[in-house]
Amino acid sequence: MEVLLLRLKDKVAIVTGAASGMGKAIAEAYAKQGAKVVVSDMNIEGAEEVAEQIKRNGGEAFAIETNVTNDDHIATLFKETASNFGPVNILVNNAGIMDNVDPVGDITDEQWDKVFAVNTGSVMKLTRQAVNIFLDNDGGTIVNNISVGGLYGARAGAAYTASKHAVVGLTKNTAFMYMNKNIRCNGFAPGGIETNIQSSMTGANDFGVERQMSGIGSNGRMGQSEEVAQLALFLGSDESSYVNGQIISIDGGWTAY
């Protein structure tokens, strides 16, 4: 009888922004494939619910409250991961926030700094911590949620677009720098996915929304978080062992228009 091997057996994976949406789906998909999952989110109640569901389904997980812009929280995240499961093997940088679709003429310094702190600064800090752990433990894998906003100019406001473009550069640079150290870094770029990320908006800019809506008609349908999770699973597994420094769109063909 053929024995089905779990794709992430005994791997330790941190997933940020894992209390809902794509992060939740990724955490669940990783756990089903044998990973020990750290469910990280500012929403600790939601994170605990995800972790408990994973355990009810026979997986291993624990929840931890993490503000990814807080250095102490980041240090605690990796410390608790090592204490509970051992050193991390896979880091999924999924946490992110939207801007208010403000064009550059309307963006405030406060909003710009906030969006960059969450979407870019935290990715660098978490990646920096993970890479140094990987170097001591024969490698590891980083998977970044880029968004099609990181590939094109007509999918969000100025701050979000710029913040995600920066993560594209960070992803590629990290992949190149550590390619001979058994460390891989890739990104997935979701298009229109049904999540609650818009709840991070505090008031949409009318002009910005009007401009961004000009291309929405070419989107065939909205995607599901579970569909994105399958790509994140591939990128986190050894099946993608020769994929490095790549940003893979998952948008149902939206950006092929």
Please name the helix (run of DSSP H) or strand (run of DSSP E) that holds residue 146, with its range, or none.
none
Q: Which amino acid is at 54?
A: I
SS3 labels along 44-77: HHHHHHHHHHHHHCCCEEEEEECCCCCHHHHHHH
Beta strands in the chain (DSSP E): 12-16, 36-41, 60-65, 90-93, 140-145, 183-190, 247-250
Beta strands in 135-214 (DSSP E): 140-145, 183-190
Distance CA 97, CA 110 (A): 14
Q: Choose, from 30, 152, 160, 178, the residue flagged as catalytic.
A: 160
130, with CB counted inside 10 A (0-12, 13-18, 19+), is: buried
**Whether residue 30 lies in the annotated active site:** no
Please give the positions annotated as active site: 160
